[in-house]
Amino acid sequence: MDWYPLYNSLRIAAISTVAVFMLGIFAAYYIAKLPRLAKGVLDVVLTLPLVLPPTVVGWLLLCLLGPKRPLGAWVLEAFGIKLVMTWWSAIFATVVVAFPLMYRTARGAFESFDHTLAEAAQTLGRSNTWIFWRVQMPVCRQGILAGTVLAFARALGEYGATSMIAGYTPGRTATISTTVYQLWRTNDDAGALRWVLVNIAISAVFLLAVNLLESRERQSRRKGAAS
Amino acid sequence: MSLTVRIRKQLGAFQLQADFTAENEALALLGASGCGKSVTLRCIAGILRPDEGVIQLDGQTLYDSAAHIDLPPQKRQVGYLFQQYALFPNMTVRQNIAVAVRDKSRREAVTREKLRQFRLEEVAGQKPRQLSGGQQQRAALARILASSPRAILLDEPFSALDSYLKYQLELELQDTLAQFPGTVLWVTHDRGEAWRSCRRVCVMDRGVTEPVMTMDELFRQPGTQSAARLSGCKNYVPVLPAGQSVDVPAWGITLNCGREVPAGTQVIGIRSHHIHPAEAGETNAFSCAVERVIDDVFGMIVLLRSQSAAPDAPLLRMELPKETWAAQPDQTRVTVAATPEDILLLK
């Protein structure tokens, strides 16, 4: 069995999770501070990929990144790089689709953050950078962790936009989800089943790990409250 | 060494106008909840920016709208005790105190010192949520003092505690602050707390401060109705000045005030426990019908209507010991009096 789709899916999900983690937290941090109207508008725009069909996202991405489209043509001309139909093209799709999950959960965590903690730290002479990394992030850790997990899971399961922007080339752009579709299409039910089981196994392990983390968190909290 | 505040700030429909100077003392900032006390503290600490005005601490300008000076909170060296203490929940008590020490070389020594001084050594390794309310307050104070502030702002320091603990901690806090060399601004709505801990007071009413006065003045001649109300006075009635007396049309009587009544006097205040059953021939005696008797914990509250009162006149509230009330021969009709000096003349 060729394990390339597993490797490719994992690396795409991992890279896009790192990107989404940073972008989502950055957006959540600054948008939470904006006035109501701007916040409402940006919120809609940034959450849209969550509710749009992935094919619509894929089409829009192709409009931007395709070799004959403005950005795609410019990159091709300036650097000689084609932005679509490579293994890393899928990262564009997974980042856009997974971003709202990270952004929304992180924003929820930041909004429930008690700002007197930040204010207290300021009066004690601590910089805003210090406050962000040493107080706000640790206090909001659970929400941020939840957002990261959701983003990774979503990136791993992405099919629609990925298939449009990266296509399906065995050994090059194939991911688990596009492989399953391809095997089913070619009547290879046994092959499809193998990949379905692999996917279910990864997802189950993943969710198990999350539950474990959460219960450990709760335990340490309970221990804290008891003593 | 002093703190001068002269600021204005608009917050929606609410307008803050704070104007006072605190010397090297504990100054009470007394006001009902929602009157702008916390907003004032936040402006002083630099967390909130006023619309205009000046804030100076020990001769240094922290904020001056005309000169475009606005120091960030980090540079103001103003300690702020938040109502819920704002201890960092992700750090131990020791870490909470250590982060406040700016000088790295002295961090460990100062932290150890503060832990000892505030009797926190045993809980130094615990997280704030594992601490009792009293320990949390001590930890927050230790943290503030570890940052070597030039002034300390206390925002309703006992609002998060029950009354028995409150009494204990009030004594501790007084001792701590007695050793503090700078200005302390003590925000409270509790006149008793202000009286026990501060010599002087600045009354704040709907966003506007009144001139600073001594606590003694607040109780003896508060000057305005809002100050009188904050000092606990419960009886108010409109009056017309008449030389050394005032006419009280609503009650159909004239009261002797024992001093020249200023022309601007519009209202008088009489504290409930300053109304008492009249002795024979006492000045300011007037006959009242008893409207209602309320059995209070340590005394009686009697609501009275002056015999010649208008139908919509405010009732008069009298508080007296249970025995004194029990000794009254007639409990439906009583002649009461208020000593001239006890009548508060208010604008």
Q: Which has the closest alpha carbon to A85: A176, A4, A186, A166? A: A166
As given in the structure block, the two tokens for residue B311 are 């139908």
Query: Would the CATH topology of B3-221 be identical to that of B235-346?
Result: no
pLDDT digits (tens, 9 = 90+) for B186-218: 999 999 999 999 999 999 999 999 999 999 999
pLDDT digits (tens, 9 = 90+) for B232-252: 999 999 999 999 999 999 999
Q: Is A82 inside any structural domain?
A: yes
d(CA A196, CA A209): 20
Of residues B124 and B33, more confidence is placed in B124
- Report the mean per-residue pLDDT for chain B: 93
- What pLDDT is stored for residue A224 in this prediction? 52
**Cβ-based neighbours of B161, under 8 Å, separated by 6 or more:** B133, B134, B137, B169
d(CA B142, CA A63): 60
Contact yes or no for B120/B95 (Cβ under 8 A)? no
Q: Is A16 inside any structural domain?
A: yes
d(CA B212, CA B18): 11
The domain tally of chain A equals 1
Q: Do A123 and B47 touch (CB under 8 A)?
A: yes
Among B38, B39, B44, B47, the strongest candidate for a mutation testing the A interface, having the largest count of A CBs within 10 A, is: B47
Burial class (CB in 10 A: 0-12, 13-18, 19+), B254: middle
Q: Which domain holds residue A119?
A: 4-175
Q: Is A220 inside any structural domain?
A: no
Contact yes or no for B253/B308 (Cβ under 8 A)? yes
Residue A226's pLDDT band (boundaries 50, 70, 90)? very low
Contact yes or no for A25/A64 (Cβ under 8 A)? no
Among B70, B82, B104, B153, the strongest candidate for a mutation testing the A interface, having the largest count of A CBs within 10 A, is: B82
d(CA B53, CA B48): 13
- What are φ and ψ of residue B253, in 5° steps? -140, 170
Contact yes or no for B270/B342 (Cβ under 8 A)? yes
Tokens 């640790």 sit on residue: A138
Residue A227's pLDDT band (boundaries 50, 70, 90)? very low
- What pLDDT is stored for residue A220 in this prediction? 65
Q: Among A120-134, A199-213, B302-316, which stretch is predicted with the lowest mean pLDDT?
A: A199-213
**Cβ-based neighbours of B205, under 8 Å, separated by 6 or more:** B31, B32, B35, B224, B226, B227, B230
Residues on chain A touching B74 (C-beta within 8 angstroms): 122-123, 125-127
Label each residue of B326-338 as H, E or C: HCCCCCCEEEEEE
What is the number of other CB atoms lying within 10 angstroms of the CB of residue B10?
13
Question: Which pTM value belongs to this model?
Answer: 0.83
Residues on chain B touching A141 (C-beta within 8 angstroms): 90
Residue A221's pLDDT band (boundaries 50, 70, 90)? low
Q: Over range B59-87, report the average pLDDT.
A: 95
Name beta bridge partners: B270: B235
- What pLDDT is stored for residue B277 in this prediction? 94
Residues on chain B touching A227 (C-beta within 8 angstroms): 126, 130
Residue A217's pLDDT band (boundaries 50, 70, 90)? low
Residue B162's pLDDT band (boundaries 50, 70, 90)? confident
Kindly state the DSSP code that residue B210 receives in the 8-state scheme: P
- What pLDDT is stored for residue B309 in this prediction? 85
Is the CATH code 2.40.50.100 the one for domain B235-346? yes
d(CA B244, CA A86): 98
Identify the three-state secondary structure at position B191.
helix
Delimit the domains of chain B by residue range.
3-221, 235-346
Q: Is B162 left (phi over 0), alpha (psi -120 to 50) or beta?
A: beta
- What pLDDT is stored for residue A213 in this prediction? 73
Partner-chain residue, chosen from A126, A225, A227, that has the shortest CB–CB distance to B74:
A126
Q: Over range B323-340, report the average pLDDT.
A: 92
Residue A198's pLDDT band (boundaries 50, 70, 90)? very high
d(CA A84, CA A90): 8
CATH number of the domain residue A137 falls in: 1.10.3720.10
What class does CATH assign to B3-221?
Answer: alpha beta
Q: Which has the closest alpha carbon to B23: B175, B185, B191? A: B185
Residue A211's pLDDT band (boundaries 50, 70, 90)? confident
Q: Is A209 inside any structural domain?
A: no
- What pLDDT is stored for residue B1 in this prediction? 77
Contact yes or no for A31/A42 (Cβ under 8 A)? yes
Interface of A with B (CB under 8 A): 114, 116-117, 119-127, 134-135, 138-139, 141, 224-225, 227
pLDDT digits (tens, 9 = 90+) for A19-74: 999 999 999 998 888 888 998 899 999 999 989 999 999 999 999 988 888 888 88
d(CA B233, CA B221): 11
Name beta bridge partners: B20: B5
- What pLDDT is stored for residue B85 in this prediction? 94
The beta-strand segments (E) located in chain A are: none
Contact yes or no for B292/B281 (Cβ under 8 A)? no
HSE at residue B1, side-chain half, CA atoms within 13 A, is: 12
Helix (H) or strand (E) segment spanning residue B322: helix B322-326
- What pLDDT is stored for residue A223 in this prediction? 57
pLDDT digits (tens, 9 = 90+) for A167-181: 898 888 999 999 999
- What pLDDT is stored for residue A222 in this prediction? 63
Burial class (CB in 10 A: 0-12, 13-18, 19+), A119: buried
A8 min Cα distance to partner chain B (Å):
38
Q: Which has the closest alpha carbon to A6: A146, A168, A174? A: A174
